Amino acid sequence: MEKYIDKGLSDWMQQDGPESDVVLSSRVRLARNIKGLPFAPLMTDKATKQLIDQARNAMNQQYLQELGSFELLKLKDISPLDRKILVEKHLISPKLDSEYMQTAVVLKDDEAANVMLNEEDHMRIQCIFPGFQLRTSYDLANQIDDSLEATIDYAFDEKLGYLTSCLTNVGTGLRASVMVHIPALVITGQVKRLLSAIQRVGLAVRGYYGEGSEAVGNLFQISNQITLGYSEDEILENLEDVIKQVIEHERDARKHVLAHMKINIEDKIYRSLGILLYARAISGQEAMERISDVRLGIDLGMLKGISANILKELMVITGPGYLQKLANRELSSDEWDSKRAKIIRERLANIQIDK
């Protein structure tokens, strides 16, 4: 467990990917259920044991081992603090954590993939890569899916496809999503119109932690909503086409603010940088907003000497769970804000300012 917790950043967070000035990450999730077992909301202790036993048996198959090293962890054996960190690193969902007594997760050693057991479905295969790499994420998820299906009999209907707890996942069971950072569209007031247009073509727009979460730090998750009646390739292609337009609009907006709002945007970026460099206490929400401004300054070439991945890094290590892990004790909300400010000051110490 320590290797997943002590390493604040997953490998994907430390890497750049295609179109990484706008797209932070690409994620693919496949929902699968086992034939003969009740769906997750009705799972008994006996059925849960069967699920975990089948997953553990599948992990020992050569095909899966060829994809990397995988480890199964029961969440009831993990401390509440460590589970919180796994949520902050997007290695498990908040729902999996909330039902920890009956859930488990299979983690790949580089943290690019995981399989959540007994969440909304028996198995949720999830893969995540930096930048705009939906196809890469899908390819790995598909390989893991094939390896599991070699020993596990899925609940599948010839007409409907994969059967799932939620009707919106019936069919391919595929949910593809992209995390975008679009501060210029927010600044220029274009974001509401763009996101409304995205929703009209059947895509969902959510916040940093997915369904039910609010957008903070100019970060939005864009994903497909329907899986029935479309092939995997059609779902991915539709999402890719929309994201390409989002990237184009954000880059145009950045050019606009540099050409017509340069003083205002510089002032906004440097004010946020000043707060981050000197604040002695800062809330999680304000930190995300200020870090977003600094990331924009890096992308626009105003700030140098620090990786653009600073946004992804600070999103994780300034979360309540990780802050307490670093402090090695429980913290009050005031102590969270103080510890968060200290870590941010340290991480930004080498930033170069164009005077």
Binding-site residues for ATP? 25-29, 90, 124, 175-179, 206-211
Show the tokens assigned to 293: 């401004």
The Cα–Cα gap between 290 and 286 comes to 6
Q: Which residues are annotated as a binding site?
A: 25-29, 90, 124, 175-179, 206-211
Query: Is residue 206 within 8 Å of 158, Cβ to Cβ?
Result: no
Bridging pattern class, strands 70-74 and 104-108: antiparallel
**E strand map for 84-192:** 104-108, 113-117, 123-130, 156-157, 161-162, 174-181
Q: In sequence order, what are the residues at sequence separation of 6 or more whose Cβ sits closer than 8 angstroms to the Cβ of residue 219? A: 24, 179, 180, 181, 207, 208, 288, 292
* CA–CA dist 331, 284 (Å, integer): 14
Residue 245 in contact with residue 303, Cβ under 8 Å?
Answer: no
What is the DSSP code (8-state) at residue 177? E
Bridge partners (DSSP) of residue 219 are 181
Token pair, residue 235, equals 């779902």
Here the tokens at position 306 are 């620090």
Q: In what order do the strands lie in the sheet with 70-74?
A: 70-74, 104-108, 113-117, 123-130, 23-32, 174-181, 219-224, 203-206
Q: What is the DSSP string of 71-105?
A: EEEEGGGS-HHHHHHHHHTTSS-HHHHHTGGG-EE
Q: DSSP assignment of 209-262, as one string?
A: TBTTPPP-TTEEEEEE---TTS-HHHHHHHHHHHHHHHHHHHHHHHHHHHHHSH
Residue among 109, 104, 83 at smallest CA distance from 94: 83
**Distance separating alpha carbons of residues 22 and 242, to the nearest angstrom:** 13
What 8-state DSSP symbol labels residue 28?
Answer: E
